Structure 1
Amino acid sequence: MADTPYATPSAGLPPQAALHTGRAVFTEAYAVIPHGVMRDIVASALPHWDKTRAWIIARPMTGFSETFSQYIVEVAPGGGSTRPEPNAAAEGVLFVVEGEANLTIESKPHVLRPGGYAFLPPGCNWSFSNTGETPVRFHWVRKRYEAVEGIEKPTAFVTNEQDEPIRWMADTNDTWGTTRFVDPTDLRHDMHVNIVTLQPGAVIPFEETHVMEHGLYVLEGKAVYRLNRDWVEVEAGDFMWLRAFCPQACYAGPNRFRYLLYKDVNRHARLDL
């Protein structure tokens, strides 16, 4: 694998002598999927994707987290798809963490390198390929788009997180900030996939308790994270999956701590459950 500043899943399997005791946990309010359990044996193939495997780390589940799915996808050289998205109602975000990918959106080509970010609206015509000599790994977040009468659907765009500013929270001395790829007031968007950065020793100083569901994939660093009633130590490559109203807070570790964050936003609460 090529060098990358972002964490990616482990290859292979642990040796037979390894202890099975780990940090994986699934509760009524949250789950933690540590990087050490994202092994070859739990990867899946995807229809209409060639030379590709995926770790499916979140999917809608009744009574838990119901709005999104999140994959870590690995595409080998020569692989990819011309029919990647099976659901015309689904929007998506791609975030590349390793390798170089060719993304075509409505016949327009783009090259995605580590940090590359693409938003794909519902019904978008896109394809993905790896024409290089090393694997490409990326996150793929999918959500059924919630259309609203009188508000047009969002348009596709491509950027790189390294070209976007970190917007620091007020009164934090530039220690807690968010890289936002969409204007929070843009009501065309019903989900945000951002990157949160906490400098060494920074904190989220209160227990956030809110309606948004979360997927948090740790890109780098380590921290102690408050999840419901528990303090949980997490590090690069770990995934935290939070249902609505799960309390959360954070103490960042000795190095910079960053994670890719999904949340559902900007829509009325459903009343037809």
Structure 2
Amino acid sequence: MSNKSTYYAPTGGLPPQTQLISDRAIFTEAYAIIPKGVLTDIVISYLPFWNNMRMWVLARPLSGFSETFSQYIVEVAPNGGSEKPELDENAEGVLFIVEGEMDVIIEGKNHHMASGGYAYLPAGAKWSLKNNSLQNVKFHWIRKAYQVVEGIDAPEAFVTSDHEVEAIEMPNTGGVWKTTRFTEQSDMRHDMHVNIVTFEPGGVIPFDETHVMEHGLYVLEGKAVYHLNGEWVEVEAGDFMWLRAFCPQSCYAGGPGPFRYLLYKDVNRHMPFIRPKS
């Protein structure tokens, strides 16, 4: 992957009083669109044991919304960070940097990460984070409760980058549709994938996908038109989409440059039953 890739990162602030109120934000039973304009200063959150940080929550476990994951965009100012970033020992995570640089210490080993950097953090991992640079760093933090399977080892932590992993062409697409996979699909240790999908201008998902996997999609660059549960919506860099399991979904990349998004999906596990109360 070329180092020329760029990623949209929110800047915060507050719209002027003269701005029109109506926007592209929508929340339905099948999908939600959180446009980039929503990510202002008045919707930020904070976490315990962090300093010089703020974050925007894109998804959280909630009835009728995200059921399997949470996703934040975290902004950490110089000298900020945390020695106790994750308080849930059952939560695994992925960090993906969209702007700036930071140091992540995993099990005592320091990893200096810059824009495009990707880290997988298994449940129970001992890790910390510090912004030792002179500029703010912004990164996605995707979290999921890890589903243990007896007889299968838990995955190990690893650090890589969008720029280091070669994108794989989807079959019979002529290279207009590619996926950057940070874990092997056949690796049963992993119960979630966080990949990057790339469409060249004019590339399409040529049918309405309808599947069991829940999705979180953050548009890193470009724009597209999505067909979601029978409705057409436009999205662009900085927008977030939540797609419920079985939500029909297809898209058309609009150009003039590549359309790229960070994609979460739950994989490789049986479907849990809702059991009657005794």
TM-score range, shorter chain: over 0.9
Query: Are positions 1:14 and 2:15 aligned together?
Result: yes
Partner of 2:149: 148
Partner of 1:167: 168
Q: For 1:163, what is the secondary structure of its paired residue?
A: coil
Identify which of 259, 262, 265 aligns with 1:260: 262
Give yes or no for contact 1:167–1:177 (8 Å, CA) kept in 2: yes
Report deviation, 1:65: 2.4
Task: For 2:171 and 2:215, locate their aligned partners in 1 and report how far apart those are by CA, in whole Å.
Answer: 23
Q: Deviations over 1:191-216 (max 9, x none)?
A: 00000000011000011100100000
Q: Which moved more, 1:61-70 or 1:147-156?
A: 61-70
Partner of 1:23: 24
Q: Deviations over 1:29-58 (max 9, x none)?
A: 000000001001101111111000010010
Query: Are positions 1:101 and 2:102 aligned together?
Result: yes
Task: For 1:149 and 1:79, locate their aligned partners in 2 and report how far apart those are by CA, in whole Å.
Answer: 39
Q: Which amino acid aligns with 2:34?
A: I
Q: For 2:79, what is the secondary structure of its paired residue?
A: strand
Partner of 1:91: 92
Task: For 2:147 and 2:197, locate their aligned partners in 1 and report how far apart those are by CA, in whole Å.
Answer: 25
Q: Deviations over 1:77-106 (max 9, x none)?
A: 010000000100000000001111000000
Q: Which amino acid aligns with 1:69?
A: S
Q: Which moved more, 1:88-97 or 1:5-14?
A: 5-14
Task: For 2:160 and 2:59, locate their aligned partners in 1 and report how far apart those are by CA, in whole Å.
Answer: 24
Task: For 2:27 and 2:274, locate their aligned partners in 1 and report how far apart those are by CA, in whole Å.
Answer: 27
Q: Deviations over 1:89-147 (max 9, x none)?
A: 00000000111100000000001100000000000000000011100000000000000
- The equivalences for 1:230-249 within 5 A come to 230-249=231-250
Q: Which moved more, 1:241-250 or 1:6-15?
A: 6-15
Q: Which amino acid aligns with 2:15?
A: P
Report deviation, 1:272: 3.4
Q: Deviations over 1:194-245 (max 9, x none)?
A: 0000001100001110010000000000000111121100000000001110
When normalised by structure 2's length, the TM-score is 0.96
Partner of 1:157: 158
Task: For 2:87 and 2:230, locate their aligned partners in 1 and report how far apart those are by CA, in whole Å.
Answer: 38
Partner of 2:51: 50
Task: For 2:213 and 2:171, locate their aligned partners in 1 and report how far apart those are by CA, in whole Å.
Answer: 22
Identity among equivalent positions (%) equals 63
Q: Mind listing any 5+ residue stretches in structure 1 that lack a counterpart?
A: none
Q: For 2:45, what is the secondary structure of its paired residue?
A: coil
Task: For 1:65 and 1:127, locate their aligned partners in 2 and report how far apart those are by CA, in whole Å.
Answer: 26
Give yes or no for contact 1:221–1:235 (8 Å, CA) kept in 2: yes
Partner of 1:61: 62
Report deviation, 1:10: 3.2
Q: For 2:15, what is the secondary structure of its paired residue?
A: coil
Report deviation, 1:62: 1.8
Q: Deviations over 1:1-24 (max 9, x none)?
A: xx9810011321000101111000
Q: For 1:117, what is the secondary structure of its paired residue?
A: strand
Partner of 1:201: 202
Give yes or no for contact 1:4–1:98 (8 Å, CA) kept in 2: no
Give yes or no for contact 1:12–1:40 (8 Å, CA) kept in 2: yes
Query: Are positions 1:34 and 2:35 aligned together?
Result: yes
When normalised by structure 1's length, the TM-score is 0.98
Task: For 1:99 and 1:202, locate their aligned partners in 2 and report how far apart those are by CA, in whole Å.
Answer: 30
